[in-house]
Amino acid sequence: MEVPLLALKHNAPEIGDKLTRIQALIDGGWQREVVALMEDARKTVSKLTPRSVSAGGMLVGRGKRKQQAHLADGWTLRTIGRGGKDRVPVLTVVHNRFTHDAAGRMKDAAVVGERFGRRFTLTEILEYGTMPHPITPRRASVLHFFTRRGAEVYTAHVSHPGTKAYAMVRLTRVLLHKWAAALQRRWKKKVDREWRK
């Protein structure tokens, strides 16, 4: 007479071993490569950001710490969840520390104007460009500046030819998507190989 029971042999320990090995693989390489990828993105966006050749850049900081800096030098990598013991990076952000914080909020000191209740910084202006526009004094009666050749100018009106749209963030984002897709394909192969072992 047949024993009245149902039995199924399962391979849970084997699957557990494989998952542990894949976890070690991810911890050891994937996270490091994702951070490296974002570092490449930071370098690229910095390279695509224009640098003024005549001026020393913009004033950043407050009080005695105020100094000249180029917007291109402000691109910063911020990894959240990194550093502490057993902490893994959960989010990596590239932001311009001169104009925005890591959450994307504009810094008050970097705001160069406000229109229709919305503020903007130099980063937005360079990203999307401007059409030709007049510049007139706001707080003084005339504009005062030095030309690239050092000549001192007083004038009541300047016709600005407009600013090119440098699209540094959008062009970097397109590259980042490509790099991330390639990384994903490479790692899928690695994980598949580990799973089949």
Give residues in contact with other proteins (CB under 8 A): 113, 115-116, 118, 120, 124-125, 128-134, 161-162, 165, 167, 170-171, 173-174, 177-178
Closest CB 113 distance from other proteins, rounded Å:
6
Cα 50 versus chain centre, distance: 16
CB of 116 to other proteins, least distance (A): 5
Closest-CA residue to 188 (of 15, 22, 34, 35): 22
The residue (of 64 and 118) whose beta carbon lies closer to other proteins is: 118
Q: Work out how close the CB of 132 gets to other proteins at its nearest, in angstroms, rounded to a whole number.
A: 7
CA distances (Å), 79 to each of 31, 114, 190, in order? Answer: 11, 31, 25
Element (H, E) at 181: helix 168-196
Min separation Cβ 112 and other proteins, Å? 8
CB nearer to other proteins: pick between 55 and 165: 165
Minimum CB distance to other proteins smaller for 102 or for 171: 171
- All residues at 6 or more sequence positions from 145 whose CB lies less than 8 Å from its CB, including other chains: 153
